[in-house]
Structure 1
Amino acid sequence: MNLALIAGAGRLPATLAAALAGRDWRAWHLEGFAPEGLASVPFRVETLGSLIATLRAEGVSEVCFAGRIARPELNPSALDMATVPLVPRMMQALGQGDDAALRTVIAFFEEAGLRIVAPQDLAPGLLDVPNVGAPSERDRADIARAVAVHRALAPLDVGQGCVVARGQVLAVEAMPGTDWMLESLGRIEGRPGGGVLYKAAKAGQDRRIDMATIGPETVTRAAQAGLAGIAVAAGDVLVLDPDALRHRLAATGLFLAPA
């Protein structure tokens, strides 16, 4: 086996697995964040050191992280001996932002001689964003505003998306994620109609991990929120099930545009 897939929740791991024909690989997932439609072996953060040792013993040379996880709680009583030496750095990382925590985890794997590869390196088609529909002039102004807001917030390690309508910032993505952000729009009284969901990587983000994604469900939730469309930064967002995405865009009348 030469590739280990560290899978998280959502459809990305199964989508990626479909592109791995001919590769010798196996999947693991952090307990509590099993992927959809993909068989994988669970592990706990308290046994991370043992997982890394297992990968090395099984001849793994490359590791790919794909899917959503939340920051786990560390139970000291569940630590195994292989993970104890990592604890000081793990505790420091868990007290920082998401990017810092992920960089620390990556460092553990790289220090063991394992190469981290990005999902888009294994399946370049994930970066192909369909250009569907045409934003209005008002939409384009909202996109420009969203890009400016995202760039201003990116150094704070807040999130990968925001929603703008008629120049007003309605929501900024944080830990609960895009779905929660879009659902929350329904609770805003007197909000302006229309609006745009914008998604992009954070400034300085390691694009090998934690890439933003969009898929058919993103379109459905954006339509339910009353938005006019979606804009993404080219090369920053992974696209799941592009054919279904196009059909959903056509059915809802939303646009999808590069920004």
Structure 2
Amino acid sequence: MLALIAGRGDLPKAVALAQSVRPLVCAVDGFAPNDLVVDYSFPIEKLGGLLRFLKAQGVTQVCLCGGIDRPSFVITRMDIWTVPLVPILLRALKLGDDGALRAVIDVFESRGIAVRAAHELAPDLLPAAGVLTQAEPDQQAAIDALAGDQEIQEMGRKDLGQACLIRDGAVVQCEADSGTDAMLLAGGDDAVGALFYKAPKPQQDRRADLPTIGLDTAKRAVQMGLRGLVIEAGGVIVLDQDKVIETLDQNGLFLWVREKGAA
């Protein structure tokens, strides 16, 4: 049996709808997914209780999908089943994004529960490589995308963020803990005419937190005056692909699903 460990946003619903049998939906308190009935809610301090519940339900696979901010850990809220996990959880909260997710994945796998990637369960979420819009990237976009490759390498070393804004070969804004939308807003006037670039970090475990864009990203790109979007082929999920492409086409922006390193 499959369970979704769901966060906010539309990704959990997209994964759930791609399954022939409805998965169990579990959500971290305060981060319920959009338009999806939650079967079990839990705070991070009761992760042990969640594991016990999953085993009782016969769950053998989970998918970590949706957005979750880095939580605090309040010892007084903890249940008895989470006590053995305290050292792991406290250490995870001090790590970067990927390090923290790897620690959580290890917790599930140590209990005999396999962790499946969202794009493995719903392969249509990964678009085919190529330019998907009427507008096409120019030579400057190719130069900016190469700068994006380099910046993601640096972000990987810091284990923070998966996106940046680039204009004329220079990075003008990078994603941090606050997320993609906050990065776009922070770009301000520097975002006008810039390229949006998004890709997985080099060392990232792709079973969780694969980069995602959707209709909100497309609308924000239009609002901020970007030239277009470049995402790594096979490495970035696109939700509501038809609506994303329609929005970009209506406003003259391009979407380039680019093979890593392509010129």
Q: Provide the rounded CA distance (Å) in 1 between the counterparts of 2:41 and 2:252.
A: 40
Mean Cα displacement is larger for which, 72-81 or 145-154?
Answer: 145-154
TM-score normalised to the size of structure 2? 0.93
Identity %: 41
Q: Provide the rounded CA distance (Å) in 2 between the counterparts of 1:148 and 1:122.
A: 30
Q: What is aligned with 1:33?
A: 31
Q: What is aligned with 1:174?
A: 176
Q: What is aligned with 2:243?
A: 244
Q: 2:166 corresponds to which letter in structure 1?
A: V
Tell me the C-alpha RMSD between the 2 structures.
1.3
Q: Which SS does the other structure have where 2:204 is aligned?
A: coil
Change (3 A) 1:183 1:114: same
Q: Provide the rounded CA distance (Å) in 2 between the counterparts of 1:153 and 1:24.
A: 36
Q: 1:222 corresponds to which letter in structure 2?
A: A
Matches within 5 A, 1:49-198: 49-129=48-128, 131-132=132-133, 133-186=135-188, 188=189, 191=190, 193-198=192-197
Alpha carbons 2:215, 2:239 under 8 Å: kept: yes
Q: Provide the rounded CA distance (Å) in 2 between the counterparts of 1:69 and 1:192.
A: 26
Q: Which SS does the other structure have where 2:101 is aligned?
A: helix
1:83 is displaced (CA, Å) by 0.3
Q: 1:7 corresponds to which letter in structure 2?
A: A
Q: Provide the rounded CA distance (Å) in 2 between the counterparts of 1:85 and 1:74.
A: 14
Structure 2 residues without counterparts, runs of 5 or longer: 259-263
1:204 is displaced (CA, Å) by 0.9
Q: Which SS does the other structure have where 2:31 is aligned?
A: coil
Q: What is aligned with 2:222?
A: 223
Q: Which SS does the other structure have where 1:10 is aligned?
A: coil
Alpha carbons 1:135, 1:255 under 8 Å: kept: yes
Q: Can you list the C-alpha shifts for 1:19-41, whole angstroms capped at 9, x where unaligned?
A: 11x22521010001111111112
Q: 1:151 corresponds to which letter in structure 2?
A: Q
Structure 1 residues without counterparts, runs of 5 or longer: none
Q: Which SS does the other structure have where 1:23 is aligned?
A: coil
Aligned length: 254
Q: Provide the rounded CA distance (Å) in 2 between the counterparts of 1:197 and 1:242.
A: 17
Q: Can you list the C-alpha shifts for 1:205-233, whole angstroms capped at 9, x where unaligned?
A: 01010011011111111111111000011
Q: Provide the rounded CA distance (Å) in 1 between the counterparts of 2:155 and 2:243.
A: 32
Alpha carbons 2:165, 2:191 under 8 Å: kept: no
Q: Can you list the C-alpha shifts for 1:5-58, whole angstroms capped at 9, x where unaligned?
A: 1110111111111111x2252101000111111111211111100110110111
1:143 is displaced (CA, Å) by 1.6
